[in-house]
Structure 1
Amino acid sequence: MNTQMPVLKEPAHKRRGNKKLLAVLFLLFIALLGVLFFNSSISKISEIGIAGMHFTTTEQIAAASKIEVGDPFFQTASDIISRNVKALPQVKEAKVMKVFPGIVKITVQEYPVVAFELSAEGNLTALLSNGTSVSADQDSAQLLDKPVLSGWTAGDPVKNALTEKLALIPQQQLSDLSEISPIPSKAYPDRIRIYTRTHFEVITAVSVLPDKIDALNAVIETQEPGKITMLLADTYVPFQTEGEEGDGAADDRDGS
């Protein structure tokens, strides 16, 4: 008697080709999503917020940033935008924050105002701590606590050095300085005359001003109005009373 053996089926082999096909389809799907995303409005800059400026305008900051509404959101890195804005002479720092989707916030910090300057035509400019001159409001409240420079020529390197030195002096120590003018001499090319709001006349030099400011304020707080010389040696002479004759040549001898 013949017994028929059942036919055994061979196990199905997994097809590696299916996995490759799935991987390719997945990559194509991701690529399609990427194309759709970068061509959609959600990937574009929709708003640029600018804050913190006083002497620069929104238009100046926006132009310096080299980005515009509608540009790709991820195209320009934040540090590059910051570096572009800091190229403006008035800007000391620029912080850039991106908020997805589409918002770029730029916050600037300008160099501080250390003095004002009145031109012969009567135009008022603000002098920043890095020597940059910018237009100022004639009614600016800052005039109450900042010195005014007069008699300086454009591009004078001593004036630029003066703005840098003024930036090193605390604001409360600057508040009494009213007017600063150049009176150079052979011994002191950077010699200056300062008038204070408390009616003192001060002869000193730009190079020593930060070192002398504490002593100057000490004299102003304890003495009657007079003439103070702070160069190689420090002297104080009260102003003469009305009717007394003064030595008009004394001013020319200081530091000469």
Structure 2
Amino acid sequence: MEKTQFMPVLKEPGPGRKSNRKLLIVLFLLFAILLTVLFFNSSISKISTITIAGQQYIGVSEVEEAAGIVIGDAFFGTSSSTIEERIEQLSSVAKATVTKSFPGEVHIQVEEYPSVGYELSASGQITALLSNGTTLAMQGRDFVVDKPVLSKWTENDPNKVKLTKVLGELPPATIGDFSEIIPIPSASYPDRIKIYTRTQFEIITAISLLKEKAPQLNAVIERQPPGRVTMLLADTYASYESGFGESEDSNEKEKGE
């Protein structure tokens, strides 16, 4: 005769146990909210220091204003990417990197477009020309004129912007040797320019050809005594000692076209 097995009866949790669990959850949530409110109202959640580095042509105050944050703002109130985007709206800034270190530290690293030249205005003010075509007044700033000076250019000459962008693509050593660049347009080459170098060369070329001709130009400067170098349709060189001959005459004729 088989024995009958009985399953034990499971007791349902009493209403008191459910109420205690709900109460604990509510208390935990209230405690978490209280801690959150206390944290965001405490000094530890605020920006305590802002450091800025890397800028050369713009001031710290300009970067701070563009960033849109000040000491005392909520540390987590604005994301690093948002601050970076704001700073990169400045015409001279190529890239901004924002690093946050809890508690309260914000570091902004600025990378500006490099300067490729300077220009002297009619009023005697020096203006820096950046590789993206931006111009910055240098009054009140410390700087060294270690790039070419653009002379005799009109204010709205589109070739000036093209020139700054081409100069930005050349090796620093190359543009560092250029002392002065003036426009000498002709019918054949509206963007023709004359470059004087610190190594005593006189170069005639065109903005549209400058990047292409730069390697040959460097080779001539390194191997030849000072003289005139023409790099247009054909490349010619004549030392000052030998005179310019036909090369000079032909360029002067083209200049007068």
Fold shared per TM-score above 0.5:
yes
Q: TM-score, normalised by structure 1?
A: 0.87
Select between 194-203 and 62-71 the one with higher mean Cα deviation: 194-203
Alpha-carbon spacing, 1:138–1:27, altered in 2? closer, same or farther (3 Å) = closer
CA deviation after TM superposition for structure 1 residue 238, in Å? 2.7
CA deviation after TM superposition for structure 1 residue 139, in Å? 9.8
Q: Which residue of 1 aligns with 2:193?
A: 192
CA deviation after TM superposition for structure 1 residue 56, in Å? 0.8
CA deviation after TM superposition for structure 1 residue 249, in Å? 4.7
Structure 2 CA distance for aligned equivalents of residues 222 and 248 of structure 1 = 21
Counterpart of 2:92, as a letter, is Q
Alpha-carbon spacing, 1:96–1:140, altered in 2? closer, same or farther (3 Å) = closer
CA RMSD of superposed structures (Å): 2.6
Alpha-carbon spacing, 1:227–1:97, altered in 2? closer, same or farther (3 Å) = same
Structure 1 CA distance for aligned equivalents of residues 141 and 23 of structure 2 = 74
Matched, 1:250 2:250: yes
- Which residues in structure 2 correspond to 1:23-42 (within 5 Å)? 23-42=25-44
- The unaligned stretches of length 5 or more in structure 1 are 1-9
Instruction: Check conservation: 2:39, 2:45, Cα contact below 8 A.
Output: yes
- Which residues in structure 2 correspond to 1:116-127 (within 5 Å)? 116-127=118-129
Counterpart of 2:78, as a letter, is T
SS in 2 for 1:175: helix
Instruction: Check conservation: 2:236, 2:247, Cα contact below 8 A.
Output: no
Q: TM-score, normalised by structure 2?
A: 0.86
CA deviation after TM superposition for structure 1 residue 136, in Å? 3.1
Identity %: 50
Alpha-carbon spacing, 1:211–1:140, altered in 2? closer, same or farther (3 Å) = farther
Q: Which residue of 2 aligns with 1:3?
A: none
CA deviation after TM superposition for structure 1 residue 179, in Å? 0.7
Matched, 1:234 2:235: yes
Alpha-carbon spacing, 1:254–1:142, altered in 2? closer, same or farther (3 Å) = farther
Provide the aligned length of Structure 1 versus Structure 2: 245
CA deviation after TM superposition for structure 1 residue 120, in Å? 3.0
- Per-residue displacement from partner, 1:74-121 (whole Å, max 9, x unpaired)? 110000000101111111111101111111111101111111112233
Counterpart of 1:253, as a letter, is K
Structure 1 CA distance for aligned equivalents of residues 43 and 168 of structure 2 = 46
Instruction: Check conservation: 1:119, 1:150, Cα contact below 8 A.
Output: no
Alpha-carbon spacing, 1:245–1:74, altered in 2? closer, same or farther (3 Å) = closer
Instruction: Check conservation: 2:126, 2:138, Cα contact below 8 A.
Output: yes
Q: Which residue of 2 aligns with 1:222?
A: 223
Counterpart of 1:231, as a letter, is L
- The unaligned stretches of length 5 or more in structure 2 are 1-10
SS in 1 for 2:145: helix
- Which residues in structure 2 correspond to 1:153-232 (within 5 Å)? 153-232=154-233
Q: Which residue of 2 aligns with 1:86?
A: 88
CA deviation after TM superposition for structure 1 residue 231, in Å? 0.9
Structure 2 CA distance for aligned equivalents of residues 181 and 59 of structure 1 = 35
Structure 2 CA distance for aligned equivalents of residues 65 and 33 of structure 1 = 29
CA deviation after TM superposition for structure 1 residue 32, in Å? 0.8
Q: Which residue of 1 aligns with 2:78?
A: 76
Instruction: Check conservation: 1:229, 1:254, Cα contact below 8 A.
Output: no
Structure 1 CA distance for aligned equivalents of residues 106 and 124 of structure 2 = 40
